[in-house]
Amino acid sequence: VAVVLAVTLRKGKYTFEDRILARCEKFKGSDCRLIWAKFQKAYVGRDPCNVPMEAYDDFIAATQFKPECNRMMFWSKTKDVVHDFTEKRDCYVTLEDTLLGSVADGLTWCGRVGSSETLTTGCPRWTDCENNPVRSFWSRASAAFAEKACGNVTVMLNGSIETPFSPNSTFRSIEVKKFDATVMRSLNVVLVTQTNSVSNCTNASLKDLQKELAAGIRYSCKEVSEAQIRECSSNPEKPCGACW
């Protein structure tokens, strides 16, 4: 403990483990030591381009995630506006607001063959190789979050791009495939528009989205300006249901 503290103080920053534990401890009643052990086990000592999403199965099992039906929010290409909204208003819950996603959001990590350490520099970038520890983590965590999606579910897609339901996105390649019609009632698209927006709810990729949804899940789409969402973020007195 003394050595770890000395190193931490000397470097003037926290280790990767400290950061994961601190984020985990915000969720009361979590066994953060166990969660850290399972998280590490996925990539430590492994080639950082050979960590499949299944490597995180034990971590996922340890985080025992309870869904908040009717408040779950997915997103694709809208990270900033979505998280600005969920940080300021208690209306929706994204993966990054749960224990599962919050421990790793914004971080980079990997292991190395023959080492028991976690590295935070020199790790593969997102597209360098598919089975990298960070990308596989998000694939696995996204699958777990989507599998539990229940009631009326919302997704914020980006109306400023030609293909808001993007083929290579996690939302399309993993999450939509995991939606379960026995527990999920509807998928409600909020298409975030700007003054120069190129897409609307008639977009071809959104037709594909309707086709790819499991039978029995209802679909809706609404164009909402980013300004209106930001306005709702900054006005806590406005009821969640009145945001769009």
- Contact footprint for ligand ZNA (CB under 6 A): 74-77, 79, 94-96, 101, 105, 126-127, 138, 142, 169-171, 175
How many Å apart are CA 115 and CA 71, to the nearest integer?
41
Catalytic annotation present for 240: no
Closer residue to ligand ZNA (CB): 75 or 85: 75
Closer residue to ligand ZNA (CB): 170 or 193: 170
Minimum Å gap between C-beta 175 and ligand ZNA is 6
How many Å apart are CA 112 and CA 118, to the nearest integer?
8
Catalytic annotation present for 69: yes
Q: Residue for token digits 């009717």?
A: 70
CA dihedral (16, 47, 52, 34) in degrees, to 10, reads: -40
Closer residue to ligand ZNA (CB): 89 or 238: 89
Minimum Å gap between C-beta 70 and ligand ZNA is 17
- Active-site annotation holder among 24, 32, 110, 150: 150
Q: Is the backbone of residue 106 left (phi > 0), alpha (psi -120 to 50) or beta?
A: left
Minimum Å gap between C-beta 165 and ligand ZNA is 9
- Tell me which residue of 60, 63, 56 sits closest to 30, measured CA to CA: 63
- Positions annotated as catalytic residues are 69, 150
